[in-house]
A and B are shown apart, each in its own frame.
Chain A
Amino acid sequence: MPELPLPQSVPLAWYLILSAILFTLGVAGFLFRRNVITVFMSIELMLNAVNLSFVTFSYKFKQVDGHIFSFFVMVVAAAEAAVGLAIILTIFKNRQTLEIDEVSSLKN
């Protein structure tokens, strides 16, 4: 069986490219989806992608600061999820809809 041409150690760039791909998927979901909960989950996906690059750079510089920053990002994401989901609940109570295109009172 021939040996697969895999490198002994994973290049650091692969992690960052994976992070870019996940971030782009998050942007795509944020822009193209209409359900407000799915849009919110796309934001979480983007935050996760950024966390991956933080941890990768933390590995590169052999310092712990990147981990601390991604920890803070997690905390802020938790707070954001609590407030955001409360807002979604309020929107649903008042308008009986989850479509973001129908919640456009601030337009114009």
Chain B
Amino acid sequence: MDAILFLLFAAIAVVCGLNLVLQSHPISSALSLVGVMGSLAVLYLLLGGEFIAAAQLIVYAGAIMVLFIFVIMLLNAGTERKLPRRLWVKYAGLPLLAVFIGIASFVIQRMLPVTEGVKFGAMTHGNPREIGRALFQIYLLPFEVTSVLILIAILGAVVLARKEID
């Protein structure tokens, strides 16, 4: 059952990721990205990260993607123009990426023992209680710095969006 769920949602994630790269209209790419994020949330649940799965759905698939789609509709972005690419990009880009995936998979397979598997329910530390305890005891300073970062980001976004540049 675990393997079936993993394969199903991994396939959805990869197909949606491919769709993101291949679609020429930004709104299709944005919807594919929502698909990737949703299936990743299910994978987080399988790995025992309940809080992270919920945060993924709320923060990423909810807030950030709504921001993206809002900007796409505000700017009325159309399909991309097809321009000729440089020769070496055309013929060397995809093989290089495939080589990267191959090397990464090989190293990962070598590093991790094959016998170890992910069982749903084996990781019980991902609930909000444990996360909150770690967040407000060990990681209190980074957490507070993050709030300052978000404040600066809000101010920066407002200033940038209002600014008139000649």
Contact = CB atoms under 8 A, between A and B. Distances in A.
A74 B116 CA distance: 28
A18 B101 CA distance: 10
B95 to A, nearest CB: 12
Given A16-B112, A85-B67, A25 B153 contact: no
A65 B149 contact: no
B107 to A, nearest CB: 9
Interface string B118-150: 110011011000110011000100100010011
Contact of B26 (A15, A38, A87): A38
Contact of A52 (B43, B68, B75): B43
Contact of A78 (B21, B43, B63): B63
Contacts of A99: 80-81
B10 A18 contact: yes
A41 B163 CA distance: 24
B160 A87 contact: yes
Chain B residues touching A, range: 35 or more
B119 A9 contact: yes
B123 A62 contact: yes
Given A16-B112, A74-B60, A35 B20 contact: no
A21 to B, nearest CB: 6
A77 to B, nearest CB: 7
B87 interface: no
A20 B98 CA distance: 11
- Among A44, A55, A74, A83, chain B packs the most CB atoms within 10 A around the CB of A55
Nearest to A53: B108
B68 A29 contact: no
Interface of A: 6-18, 20-22, 24-29, 31-35, 37-38, 40-42, 44-45, 48, 51-52, 55-56, 58-60, 62-65, 67-68, 70-72, 74-83, 85-90, 92, 94, 98-99, 101
**Which 4 pairs across A and B sit closest by C-beta, in order of nearness?**
A9-B117, A79-B153, A86-B160, A20-B104
10 contacts: A8-B117, A12-B112, A13-B112, A21-B101, A45-B33, A64-B130, A72-B142, A88-B75, A89-B71, A90-B165
Given A26-B17, A98-B77, 11 more contacts: A11-B116, A16-B108, A25-B18, A31-B89, A41-B20, A62-B123, A64-B134, A68-B139, A81-B64, A89-B160, A101-B83
